[in-house]
Amino acid sequence: MKIEIAEHAGYCYGVERALKLTRKASDQSPTPIHTLGPIIHNPQVVDSLAADGVTPIADVGEAHSGTVIVRSHGVEPAVIELAKQKGLEVVDATCPFVAAAQQRAADLVREGYRLVIVGEHDHPEVVGILARARGGALVAEKPEDLADLGECKRVGVVVQTTQSIARLQEIVGQLLLISSELKVYNTICDATTNRQKSAKDLARRVDVMLVVGGKNSANTTRLAQICTESNADTHHIETARELVPEWFGNARDVGVTAGASTPDWILDEVVMALTRIGESLG
């Protein structure tokens, strides 16, 4: 059984940067270290950091001293201000691509455009972008959501950095029919585009496709959706323990990809487990 790993898989720059800042803060500070939500959407990494004293919290109000780390998804400006008012040290690990989307959103609102954010309503990144737009935006996960836009001549668009280009094109296509001026910023990050393309290409030519990463990770879930569209025999797993040997009974070629929040050690464990399964199947 041949195992092939996608050309682009695993940690992206924004995730690596956030983890580096988190570990640096943990190593240098004797005071409590908190992250606003899980630092990345990977339960195994979050558990590992918790063992070193880095604790996720849902709200700044839960922290009474020490350091608060803003995760790669970013947060509303008011959250950072509140943390500073409480005397907490703030480490901003917002991904630069996310920060760029936030700035584009603020610019469009300031220029008088009705803002549409292409993304998931409750995703923390979208919540942060929405705050930069001072609440004056419509979040669209699908073209049907644009029904709430009403009559609007000037529309500006930004997109959640982990969305697919196909979703952006779908919504922009609908906006072209209902607006007379449309300004679009494609704020999907390069890492997302590269991972989605290489995963799709690999899924098309293998018998079984595996997508490795947190079930709570938006970008990993989207990778699984994209692979499933090209290969119905796609499985989304978090760790090697979830592998089922029966999936590979008739497989000659198995493809593997991983989300942007999946560490190399988890990907390596999956590949090693696959190798053992292949050997047992002969």
- pLDDT per residue rounded down to tens, the chain (282 residues): 999 999 999 999 999 999 999 999 988 878 899 999 998 888 999 999 998 899 999 989 899 899 999 988 888 888 999 999 999 999 999 999 999 999 999 999 999 999 999 999 989 899 989 988 876 799 999 999 998 787 788 999 999 998 989 999 999 999 999 899 999 999 999 988 999 999 999 999 999 999 999 998 988 999 999 999 999 999 999 999 999 999 999 899 999 999 999 999 999 999 999 999 999 887
Catalytic residue of the set 125, 141, 246, 279: 125
Q: What are phi and psi of 7, to 5 degrees?
A: -60, -40
H or E stretch at 36? strand 33-36
The DSSP bridge pattern shows strands 181-184 and 154-159 to be parallel
* pLDDT reported for residue 237: 98
Q: Which helix (H) or strand (E) is 158 found in, with range?
A: strand 154-159
For residue 135, the SS3 value is: coil
Non-local (6+) Cβ contacts of 135 within 8 A are none
Calpha distance 261→191 (Å, rounded): 11
Handedness of CA 253, 226, 214, 267 (dihedral sign): positive
pTM of the predicted protein model:
0.84
**Domains of the chain and CATH, by start:** 2-10+190-281 (3.40.1010.20), 13-95 (3.40.50.11270), 97-184 (3.40.1010.20)
Per-residue DSSP letter, 259: -
Give the phi and the psi of residue 56 in degrees, each rounded to 5. Answer: -75, 140
pLDDT of residue 136: 76
Q: How far is CA 200 from CA 96, 112, 180, 218, 260, in A?
A: 26, 38, 35, 17, 15
**Known catalytic residue: 125?**
yes
- What integer pLDDT is reported at residue 90 of this predicted model? 94
Answer for the pair 63, 78: CB distance below 8 angstroms, yes or no. no
Q: What's the confidence (pLDDT) of residue 281?
A: 83
- Return the residue matching tokens 């290969």: 231
Residues in the chain: 282
Question: Whose CA is closest to 76, among 106, 49, 46, 120?
Answer: 106
> Residue 166 carries which side chain, given as an amino acid letter?
A
Please name which of 36, 75, 35, 65 lies closest in space to residue 52, comparing C-alpha atoms: 35
- Beta carbons of 57 and 24 less than 8 angstroms apart: no
Write down the H helix ranges in the chain.
13-28, 43-51, 77-85, 96-110, 124-132, 165-178, 190-205, 218-230, 264-281
The token pair at 232 is 């119905």
Percent of the chain that is helix, strand, coil (3-state, to 5): 50, 20, 35
